A and B are shown apart, each in its own frame.
Chain A
Amino acid sequence: MQLPIYLDYAATTPVDPRVARAMSECLTIESNFGNPASRSHQFGWKAEEAVENARRNVADLLNCDPREIVWTSGATEADNLALKGAAHFYHKKGKHIITSKIEHKAVLDSCRQLEREGFEVTYLDPDSDGLISPETVEQALRPDTILVSLMHVNNEIGVVNDIGAIGEVTRKHKVIFHVDAAQSAGKLDIDLEKMQVDLLSLTAHKLYGPKGIGALYVRRKPRVRIEPQIHGGGHERGMRSGTLPTHQIVGMGEAYRIAREEMREEARRTLALRDRMLRGLEDIEEVYVNGDLKLRSPGNLNISFNFVEGESLMMALRELALSSGSACTSASLEPSYVLRAIGRNDELAHSSLRISIGRFTTEEDIDYAIEKIHYAVAKLRELSPLWDMYKEGVDLDQVQWAAH
């Protein structure tokens, strides 16, 4: 077993060795280094072929047409392109956009920008499990709604929205539906023949591909239009200019090809490890799982240890690489907005850990982590005045705290 143990696969994943090998073949003078846009020689043709193979691999995982895949620098750019691109194209139809309070910042901050440009945005409240229902979406629709943007899997709590059902609502009302699938592609089934999703953001680095590459799916039937946000040589059918990074794209293609072959087995394996982790932790007193446990991405566990602060907990767990919803781990000193939006109080938000499990996690890793977490929680509760008070039967909500 190698220390520290990586349990932060929702933040990023290591590149699969098979992916790294494919990428390394697109860099040097002996290999496929050409500019895919070079039409006049075989270096360009060969690079273009590699890019188009990768495009097909991405499209195959999602059951869509390769021509519907637009390369971007990652999911953040894809989200920006989807929201601003669709809003700018369809603004004459209306200026209302619907999203949720627990979206990724790439979506929320793009919405803020669109508000500054005169669009109006409705931020839906998720239920206490973290989910947005199709009914909630339908009720928020207005005659001037042009776009709904919701994530498939939440990055913090791993809960899964029913994008198939939500897509039926948006299609019925002829509203564009954008889905951020950064956390779900290659982990959950996405069938774009069946799901009525119009725009879908993808990334490589959450799926054992390299950082710095992603894609936006843009539906052709019925045709969805977007205004480009980056102008230049007219690459990607004019939707996203910029020389295509062959090695990055080949890496993403290989990662998605592997995912298509192995995702079922991998989902089974990571779910078993997740359940092993949960079983090992749920005997600790005052432990709360955040978000629905059934409708959840297989490798995610988000769990709060009441009366223990998340950053100090991570400090005690320096042999484990994971993340926390604690304010102290963020630049803003605000606890997780996702946990707050699902109704968790600040204390539980401060006390949360996100454990995310992936391809290279072993049972040994999980068992070691369980033991360490038990020890750390006990140690910090020994130090915690709140734990004392809880044990004495003091209702902490009734105490007059001097907020600072």
Chain B
Amino acid sequence: MAYSDKVLDHYENPRNVGRLDDDDANVGTGMVGAPACGDVMRLQIKVDGDGVIEDAKFKTYGCGSAIASSSLLTEWVKGRSLDDATQIRNKDIADELGLPPVKIHCSVLAEDAIKAAIADVRKKQGNTEDQT
């Protein structure tokens, strides 16, 4: 399969690889996928006092498109409010990376990951009133 230049770039130079402190009340973790399916993403976000995502880290087990989708996602969410970040759609990721139809599920997984991370940090902060 031929990869787009953007997928290759994220794959070769993944942004924001790593992990944040799980015990931090301002850190939310989204772990999605399953090893048996060939991809697992762990996305972590850290929010500041204003509910803006100030840091994001990921680790992904999966194909190049899955790695690129999660790497791109960490770039996109930084500096956004949680509400704003919930608006990210898998289609935006797939379009940006030029994913072929067979790889759309990688972008779906990334959308699931950010949603799960946001839900986790909101739960930790006991702040659910602005959830849609």
Listed in ascending order, the chain A residues whose CB lies under 8 Å from chain B are 307-309, 311-312, 315, 326-328, 331, 333, 335, 345-347, 350, 382-388, 396, 401-404
**Chain A residues near B41 (CB-CB < 8 A):** 385
* A333→B64 CA distance, assembly (Å): 15
Q: Which of B46-54, B55-63, B80-88, B119-127 forms contacts with chain A? A: B55-63
Interface contacts beyond A327-B37, A402-B34: sample of 4 additional A-B pairs, CB < 8 Å, sorted by A? A309-B63, A311-B64, A331-B102, A350-B38
Q: Report the nearest B residue to A348, measured CB to CB.
A: B35
* A326→B14 CA distance, assembly (Å): 22
* A386→B34 CA distance, assembly (Å): 10
**Chain B residues near A333 (CB-CB < 8 A):** 102
* A384→B17 CA distance, assembly (Å): 10
Indicate which residue in B3, B38, B42, B61 contacts A327 across the interface (CB closer than 8 Å).
B38
Q: Report the nearest B residue to A315, measured CB to CB.
A: B64
A328 x B61 contact (CB < 8 A): no
* A388→B40 CA distance, assembly (Å): 12
Nearest CB on B from A323, distance (A): 13
Nearest CB on A from B102, distance (A): 7
On whether A383 and B59 interact (CB within 8 A), knowing A312-B67, A327-B38, A335-B38, the answer reads yes
B38 x A385 contact (CB < 8 A): no
On whether A401 and B36 interact (CB within 8 A), knowing A312-B11, A333-B102, the answer reads yes
**Chain A residues near B61 (CB-CB < 8 A):** 307-309, 383-387
* A168→B42 CA distance, assembly (Å): 55
Interface residues on B, range: 20 to 34
Asked if B72 CB lies within 8 Å of chain A CBs, one says no
Indicate which residue in A311, A335, A388, A404 contacts B109 across the interface (CB closer than 8 Å).
A404
A-B contact count (CB 8 A): 84
A383 x B36 contact (CB < 8 A): no
- Which of A311, A315, A386 gathers most chain B CB within 10 Å? A315
Indicate which residue in A307, A308, A347 contacts B36 across the interface (CB closer than 8 Å).
A347
A404 x B60 contact (CB < 8 A): no
**Chain A residues near B59 (CB-CB < 8 A):** 383-385, 388
**Chain A residues near B31 (CB-CB < 8 A):** 385
* A276→B89 CA distance, assembly (Å): 48
A345 x B36 contact (CB < 8 A): yes
On whether A311 and B63 interact (CB within 8 A), knowing A335-B38, A402-B32, the answer reads yes
Q: Report the nearest B residue to A350, measured CB to CB.
A: B38
Nearest CB on B from A329, distance (A): 8
Indicate which residue in B17, B32, B35 contacts A383 across the interface (CB closer than 8 Å).
B17
* A333→B65 CA distance, assembly (Å): 14
Nearest CB on A from B31, distance (A): 7
Nearest CB on B from A137, distance (A): 32
Indicate which residue in A326, A347, A388, A404 contacts B19 across the interface (CB closer than 8 Å).
A388
**Which residues of B, 89-117, contact A by the 8 Å Cβ criterion?**
102, 105, 108-109
**Chain A residues near B14 (CB-CB < 8 A):** 383
**Chain A residues near B32 (CB-CB < 8 A):** 402, 404
B11 x A315 contact (CB < 8 A): yes
**Chain A residues near B33 (CB-CB < 8 A):** 401-402, 404
